[in-house]
Structure 1
Amino acid sequence: MDKDLEDVSKFYNIMVEFFANYSLQIVGALIILIIGIIVSKYVQKFVLKILLNNNIDETLSGFVSNFVRFLVVAMMAILALGKLGISIAPFIAALGALSLTAGLALQGSVSNFAAGIILVITKPFKIGDTITINDVYGEVEDIKLSYTVLVNEDGEQITIPNKYMIGDVLVNSFSFRVVEGSVGVAYNSDIDKAISCIKNVLESEKDVSDDNESIVGIEKFNDSSIDIAYRYWVPTKSFFKTQYEVNLKVLNALNNSKITIPFPQREIKIIGDNNVSK
């Protein structure tokens, strides 16, 4: 019992001595840290306001302002540690080693993050545009700092890491996509009439864009047919639906106009005496 009281008494004396010697430093460190947290909020709002007033992208503005706030809090925390008499050199060395390790482990994520910042600054596309990259297409639904989200006509959500958006061929067709089709007609057909039929179909289709002119003309001369090609623009969300409807209407229009769509033919001529003795 006496030993326990003695241990408690020693602990009490140590605590009293500690607070007597370091109470002011502890209070000072806490005050510095609290001031840093409060000031960082105002600095964050101030930086965010300046960036937005200068028409900087909202996502990038939020990232920069949050990073500035983190720096303010980190600097005040270093000052607080110095107030306590704690050397910050080991912490800085450990932080450097940790940053190097994290950088090597997360180099893919860092690449996506850096590419996201470039996308936000350069703005090669915006939400609502239709882009095609690496044979994947879709309407841009959201742009994050590490990835971009697309949605295709089937309602599928496609997530593309931003590093693939930089340094690769990217096609931006905005809110439309171009549809290409062709049909072969017989050589003895009225070609002008066939072209007129296809043009009428495209003009009557409600989903075909009026802002981008449709193109209809002879594509090439095949052995058994003349190929008439047509190109037109449709909203991304109705690409396949409109393509299938137009193809059916083109077929019906040509049939109603008595324009023949031939099948492949070969003409064989037999020259000379082909009698074979047995």
Structure 2
Amino acid sequence: MDKVNDNIETVSKWVDILTEFAITYGFQILGAIVFLLFGLWVANWIGNRLINVMLGRNIDVTLSQFIGSAIKLILVALLIIITLGNFGVSIAPLIALAGAVTFGATLALQGPISNFGAGVAIILTRPFVVGNVITVRGVSGVVDKITLGMTFLTGEDGEQIAVPNKEIVGQVIVNSMEMRIVESNFCIAIDEDALRVIDLIEAAIKKVTEGESPHPPQVGIQDFTYGGVVIGVRAWVPGLQYFEDRYDINRAVYTTLKENGIALMQIGNSSLALPKLNDGNGPSTPPPVL
């Protein structure tokens, strides 16, 4: 019976303590929660509004999102500091603790942090933007998204490629913007009409790339070789369908050559003229044909 009375007294004391605490701090806590929620809503609204304004002024998407997110974080941090100050919590020890934790985290997470630093460098210097076709570290694709830690590319087959930002900064970056160049060449026999071949090939490639590229294809005499003329081909195609268009262009070139009876140079048919031979006893004799 005494034990039951003791338990009742203990519960009664806790009820009194909680009641007194609720009366003393209840409205203060409720006000702090309301203030915190309202502040979070305001910070989120300001960040989104800032992003929309920058996008409306044609500022890069990635840079706009980065600045908007940074403003949100700063406002939320100030909000938390003000809320804690209303409860009489000293901020100085928390700042010192945060500094110590940050130092330890920096040592433990050097890899991810270096990615974040590289991400900030990419966003600020903007060597490429969303929608560009880039090649870096042997991989290529269309830039789909740039975050602080990773840059996401979309390959030609639709696969997503995630490249750590620290692997991009300081490396050679080939930025083809939205287009890539298909380059090829072939050698026709020396007795073929090279100018006619150029016109035919250029017309065939235009049919393949029509509506895809603002740049016309380039076809011309690239070089000369023994027994033939080298024709060079350059065409701009969308980066996402580079190989598809490359194969279509090669097919168009091959079909055009076949349909018009244009002969390609064959190595076995080339000849090399050597100096005439003279043994000193008579007229020079013609050299053998190799």
Interval of TM-score (by shorter of Structure 1 and Structure 2)? 0.7 to 0.9
Matches for 1:120-159 after TM superposition, within 5 Å: 120-138=123-141, 140=142, 142-145=144-147, 146-152=150-156, 154-159=157-162
Q: Provide, for residues 69-104 of structure 1, a one-character-per-residue CA deviation record: whole Å limited to 9, x for no partner.
A: 333232222222222233333332332233334334
Instruction: Report the CA distance between 1:9 and its aligned residue.
Output: 2.2
Cα 1:148–1:225, aligned 2, differ >3 Å: closer, same or farther? farther
Q: Where does structure 1 lack aligned partners over 5 or more consecutive residues?
A: 273-278
The residue aligned with 2:196 is 196
Asked if structure 2 preserves the Cα contact closer than 8 Å seen for 1:185 and 1:262, the reply is no
What is the SS of the residue equivalent to 2:215?
Answer: coil
Take 2:29 and 2:158, find their aligned partners in 1: how far apart are those partners?
A: 58
Rounded to whole Å, the distance in 2 between the matches of 1:101 and 1:212 is 57
Deviation (angstroms), 1:22: 3.8
Matches within 5 A, 1:226-265: 226=228, 228-236=230-238, 237=241, 238-249=244-255, 252=258, 256-257=261-262, 260-263=265-268
Evaluate the alpha carbon distance shift between residue 160 and residue 27 of structure 1 in structure 2; reply closer, same or farther with a 3 A threshold.
closer
**Counterpart position of 1:102:** 105
Q: 1:253 to 1:109 in 2, by over 3 A?
A: farther
Q: Is the 8 A contact 1:185 1:228 kept in 2?
A: yes
Q: Are residues 1:207 and 2:208 paired?
A: yes
Task: Determine which of 181, 190, 200 is the counterpart of 1:178.
Answer: 181
Change (3 A) 1:46 1:163: same
Aligned to 1:131, the other structure's residue is in SS state strand
- Give the partner amino acid of 2:258: N
Quote how far apart the aligned CAs of 1:198 are.
4.4
1:60 partnered with 2:60: no
Give TM-score, length-normalised by structure 1.
0.73
Of 117-126 and 7-16, the range deviating more from structure 2 = 117-126
The 1-side partners of 2:269 and 2:113 are apart by 56
| Deviation (angstroms), 1:4 | 0.9
What TM-score do the two structures reach when normalised by structure 2? 0.71
SS class of match (1:231): strand
Moved over 6 A (4+): 264-267
SS in 1 for 2:267: coil
Question: Is this contact kept in 2: 1:184–1:262, CA < 8 A?
Answer: no
Contact 1:128/1:175 (<8 A) preserved: yes
Contact in 1 for aligned 2:151/2:163 (Cα 8 Å): yes
Q: State how many pairs are aligned.
A: 263
Question: Structure 1 pair 127/245, CA: closer, same or farther in 2 (3 Å)?
Answer: farther
Aligned to 1:276: none
By how many angstroms is 1:219 displaced? Answer: 2.1
What do you get for the CA RMSD once the two structures are aligned?
3.7
Deviation for aligned residue 1:27: 4.5
- C-alpha displacement of 1:37: 2.7
Q: Alpha-carbon deviation of 1:245?
A: 0.8
Q: Is the 8 Å Cα contact of residues 176 and 235 (structure 1) preserved in structure 2?
A: yes
Distance 1:107 1:264 in 2: 63
Are the equivalent residues in 1 in contact too, given 2:204–2:256 (CA < 8 A)? no
CA shift for structure 1 position 228: 0.4
Q: Distance in 1 between matches of 2:57 and 2:214?
A: 36
Q: Which runs of 5+ in 2 are unaligned?
A: 280-290
Q: Which amino acid aligns with 1:96?
A: G
Task: Report the Cα offset of residue 147 of structure 1.
Answer: 0.8
